[in-house]
Structure 1
Amino acid sequence: MSTSAPDPLPGLGLVVARYREDLGWLREVGLPCVVYNKGPELDPADLPPGTEVVALPNVGREAHTYLTHIIAHYGRLPRHTAFLQGNPFAHLAPPEEPRVTPAGLRARLLELAALNTPFAGLAWFRLRCDGLGRPHDLADPAKKGRWKGWGKDIPVARIFEALFFSPSPEEFIARASTGNMLVRRERILARSEGFYRRALALVLADPDDADNTGHAFERLWQAVFSGAGTAASGPHDI
């Protein structure tokens, strides 16, 4: 009777895109973690033991962080990777419900990993949009001045076509629109390292998000991690 060899790589790891957020919640989550820091220096004593901290320039939003990590670790990814913003908790439960705690996030990630989930957006909602990211709130007066692309549409269709060399669908259903998600290793490796380098080049061509390229990736992560095939008609939801 033959048995499959055990997975030699860790089962679940976190990748956190941090700017100025307090990362004290990582201690309670208690999972292996790489923090990519684009803001003030972190005190290692404030982080769980063994946390790796990598300094990055403050460009390209979390898409730059996630793509940089995938390229650097392409051949040694854990079975599941949770990609998280520095403060993911505002997006994990509807506003009328109690906020998800770090312990709750840990439990959810472990459950998704135990189910061998291929891809899961962690926000409580999905977004349905057209090729310009509409409807969106990027002209919200409260957000004016936060980044150079304020007030513009989101080039979802253009970035899709640049990534996949395929006509864009008319509609997209974004399942990881807040940039918080869990992805199985095989889903990541279904795309070549060259694909991720091409994606990173698109982000780096718009480092200040003046054209909202980073926002476009927030609406395309489910397509990026859908595997080798892509749909050419909408709504695009894989």
Structure 2
Amino acid sequence: MNRASVEIVVARYKEDVSWLAETDYPAIIYDKGGDLVAVGGKCLKSLPNIGREGHTYFTHIIENYPVFPDYTIFLQGDPFFHTEKITAHEVFEQAAQKIAKNAKFFGFAWFKLRCDRLGRPHDMDDPKSKGKWKGWGKDIPVGEVFEKLFKRPSPEQFIASAPTGNFLVARERILTRPKSFYENALELILADPDDENNTGHAFERLWQVIFNGSTHINPPE
């Protein structure tokens, strides 16, 4: 059996990404901090600091569509913040196990999140986060973003299996959606570049829907 081809895509601001040395997988680091020079043979690309990790991920997909490896691992600059502080080695070992089992999508998080159309329950008004982004204290427009993406009524509840924005996805799942779908998603993010309306946060609750393999985007006739 041929070994699956894998690529890592990192959405980095000012985080220490030296953990990438723990893997032999090729990686592209999209740097939004402007202070990164080189990381051991990994590819560096610069992006403006807007739109959270969704801006990075959709930019990557659009620029490379339809040529992808068997699996793409999308990770934040510090993917361990939400994962009980497990090590990089454990994350990549977990990824290898899921790929060996032919998993099509997997979220790197120790929990699943159940929320309503407004992202509730959430901690967007956590005093410790006040001032970190313009959407602090507001609800998350999960239902609204869903409807703009899929052109059909939103469900009342969502179960997010990649709520930390860290996940792996098979090429076939990416290609289930046309390039225009991802271009539309990126436009939604560009319309809220500072996450004032929490559009970027909404995508963290929708990754499993975006990559669920369904071709059902438009409402039935």
- Scaled by the length of structure 2, the TM-score of the pair is 0.94
Matched, 1:48 2:40: yes
Matched, 1:90 2:81: yes
Deviations 1:8-46 (A, max 9, x none): xx61110000000001100012311000000033121xx
Matches of 1:119 and 1:126 in 2, distance apart? 14
Matched, 1:64 2:45: no
Give the deviation of 1:231 after TM superposition: 11
Deviations 1:102-128 (A, max 9, x none): 211121111111111111111010110
Matched, 1:225 2:199: no
Which of 30, 35, 56 is 1:36 aligned to? 30
The correspondence of residues 200-215 of structure 1 with structure 2, limited to 5 A, is 200-215=186-201
Give the deviation of 1:90 after TM superposition: 2.0
Deviations 1:85-142 (A, max 9, x none): 001112223xxxxx31121112111111111111111101011000000000001111
Q: Match of 2:129, as an amino acid?
A: K
Percent identity over the alignment is: 54
Would you identify which runs of 4 or more consecutive aligned residues in structure 1 move more than 4 Å? none
3-state SS of paired residue (1:196): helix
Which of 11, 21, 25 is 1:17 aligned to? 11
Matches of 1:92 and 1:54 in 2, distance apart? 26
Give the deviation of 1:48 after TM superposition: 2.5
Deviations 1:187-226 (A, max 9, x none): 0100000000000000000000000000000000111111
Matched, 1:75 2:66: yes
Matches of 1:82 and 1:221 in 2, distance apart? 13
Q: How many residues align?
A: 218
Q: Match of 2:153, as an amino acid?
A: P
Which of 118, 123, 128 is 1:137 aligned to? 123
Matches of 1:88 and 1:15 in 2, distance apart? 12
Matches of 1:19 and 1:116 in 2, distance apart? 31
Larger Rg: 1
- Scaled by the length of structure 1, the TM-score of the pair is 0.88
Q: Is the 8 A contact 2:150 2:218 kept in 1?
A: no
Q: Match of 1:220, as an amino acid?
A: L
Matched, 1:180 2:166: yes
Query: 1:235 maps to which residue?
Result: none
Q: Match of 1:229, as an amino acid?
A: H
Taking a change above 3 Å as real, the CA distance of residues 172 and 231 of structure 1, as seen in their structure-2 partners, is: farther
Q: Is the 8 A contact 2:11 2:56 kept in 1?
A: yes
Which of 103, 110, 127 is 2:89 aligned to? 103
Q: Which stretch of the first structure deviates more once superposed, 122-131 or 221-230?
A: 221-230
Query: 1:236 maps to which residue?
Result: none
Query: 1:190 maps to which residue?
Result: 176
RMSD of Structure 2 on Structure 1 (CA):
1.7
